[in-house]
């Protein structure tokens, strides 16, 4: 099923998860420090989006918006998708896992951003080998997040960003009212080039969207926009990250397609000023495209309305 767009579309989405995405990994201390800085980075990002009047998707792990691990234990009672033992949270690392003021900060923004689900606890459905158990736990995790985000955002949640961009259980998300998602719809997540691009944050040429039989809309993750931790990689990428992203946007304009830019706030927890400088340089160029009516900057729900509803 296809739909012809009148012009290209840009979507910007942030995976707001704190350290929840790093729970399965050991030796994550450097990333925990970056995640702590998210509480400084997020308000600064929102001010930058206000400056250029750009609406984005804030894909939030509900657990990150809670106050402490006791709140998490309440939500995860009888749920084996995440450990509720104290060992999931390292001592003195609470700020990496919890940001209870996040919705207060979001609500102060001039631009009213679109809140998306990023699951409650960043559950990796693909890591659960039993398909029935995977489906059940994934569904339960999403239900928890929908309830929590609806309460905190005072709005119904209709969009999802899959953890690690790994899509699956599309019948579940449709049943829960999640009509549109961002992920690797073209099965790129296990490819060699996708792994290279994720590690180095280089441009990934995949872009576009897919309409599924149940009218669920999938948006391909296109550009992971940040500088890598490696100083050597950052030295070279700093000179080309914006130009490569603009090259992808130009292709979306030419082909009347959807180009999705994404990153985590914690990505800006290192080389912070350099990352912000690059993002602002990109936003300035995007605004010129928008003002010249070359492209629309839309949220996931707005893309869904344009492609499915219209």
Region for residue 298 given its phi and psi (left: phi exceeds 0; alpha: psi -120 to 50; beta: otherwise) = beta
Q: Quote the mean pLDDT of the chain.
A: 87
pLDDT of residue 124: 80
* Alpha-carbon span 224 to 180, nearest angstrom: 19
Q: What is the pLDDT of residue 83?
A: 46
Mean pLDDT over 235-245 rounds to: 85
* Average pLDDT score over residue span 47-58: 98
Q: CB of 52 within 8 A of CB of 111?
A: no
Burial class, 287, CB count within 10 angstroms (exposed 0-12 / middle 13-18 / buried 19+): middle
Residue with tokens 């955002």: 153
**What is the pairing mode between strands 258-263 and 223-224?**
parallel
Task: Give me the pLDDT at residue 26, please.
Answer: 55
What pLDDT band is residue 87 in, cutting at 50, 70 and 90?
low
End-to-end CA distance of the chain: 14
pLDDT tens digits along 141-163: 999 999 999 999 988 899 999 99
Give per-residue pLDDT as tens, 176-225: 999 999 999 986 545 554 555 454 455 455 899 999 988 999 999 999 99
3-state DSSP assignment of residue 180: strand
170 φ, ψ (degrees, to nearest 5): -65, -25
Q: Taking the domains of the chain in order of start, what are their residue ranges?
A: 8-309
Supply the pTM of this predicted model.
Answer: 0.91
| CATH T-level assignment (fold) for domain 8-309 | TIM Barrel (3.20.20)
Read off the tokens for 220: 């391909």
Q: What's the Cα-to-Cα distance from 126 to each of 163, 233, 234, rounded to whole Å?
A: 10, 30, 31
Q: Where are the alpha helices (DSSP H) in 19-85?
A: 29-36, 38-51, 69-75
Q: Which two tokens stand for residue 64?
A: 């990150």
Predicted local distance difference test score (pLDDT) of residue 203: 46
Most confident stretch, 206-220, 228-242, 288-302? 288-302
Largest CA distance in the chain: 54
Phi and psi based region of residue 18 (left: phi greater than 0; alpha: psi -120 to 50; beta: remaining): left
Range with top average pLDDT, 4-8, 229-233, 267-271, 285-289: 285-289
Residue (of 279, 227, 309, 251) closest to 10 by Cα position = 251
pLDDT tops 90 at residue 22: no
Q: What is the DSSP string of 22-37?
A: GTT-SS-HHHHHHHHT
d(CA 182, CA 175): 17
């Amino acid at each position: 099923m296809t739909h012809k767009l009148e012009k290209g579309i840009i979507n910007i989405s942030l995976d707001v998860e704190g350290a929840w995405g790093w729970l399965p990994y050991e030796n994550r201390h450097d990333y925990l420090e970056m995640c702590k800085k998210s509480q400084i980075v997020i308000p600064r990002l929102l001010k930058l989006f206000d400056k250029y009047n750009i609406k984005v998707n804030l894909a939030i792990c509900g657990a990150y918006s809670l106050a402490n691990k006791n709140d998490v234990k309440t939500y995860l009672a009888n749920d084996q998708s995440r450990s509720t033992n104290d060992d999931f949270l390292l001592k003195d690392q609470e700020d990496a896992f919890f940001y209870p003021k996040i919705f207060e900060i979001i609500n102060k923004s001039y631009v009213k951003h679109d809140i998306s689900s990023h699951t409650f606890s960043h559950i990796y459905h693909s890591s659960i080998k039993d398909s029935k158990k995977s489906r059940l736990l994934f569904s339960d995790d999403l239900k928890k997040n929908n309830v929590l985000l609806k309460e905190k955002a005072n709005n119904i949640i209709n969009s999802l960003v899959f953890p690690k961009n790994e899509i699956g259980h599309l019948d579940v998300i449709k049943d829960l009212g999640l009509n549109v998602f961002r992920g690797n719809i073209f099965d790129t997540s296990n490819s060699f080039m996708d792994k290279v691009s994720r590690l180095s944050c280089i441009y990934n040429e995949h872009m576009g969207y897919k309409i599924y039989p149940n009218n669920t809309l999938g948006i391909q993750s296109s550009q992971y926009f940040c500088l890598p931790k490696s100083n050597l990689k950052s030295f070279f990428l700093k000179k080309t990250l914006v130009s490569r992203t603009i090259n992808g946007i130009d292709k979306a304009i030419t082909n009347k397609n959807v180009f999705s830019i994404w990153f985590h706030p914690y990505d800006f927890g290192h080389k912070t000023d350099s990352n912000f400088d690059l993002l602002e340089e990109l936003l300035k160029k995007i605004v010129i495209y928008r003002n010249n009516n070359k492209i629309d900057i839309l949220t996931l729900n707005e893309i869904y309305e344009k492609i499915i509803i219209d």
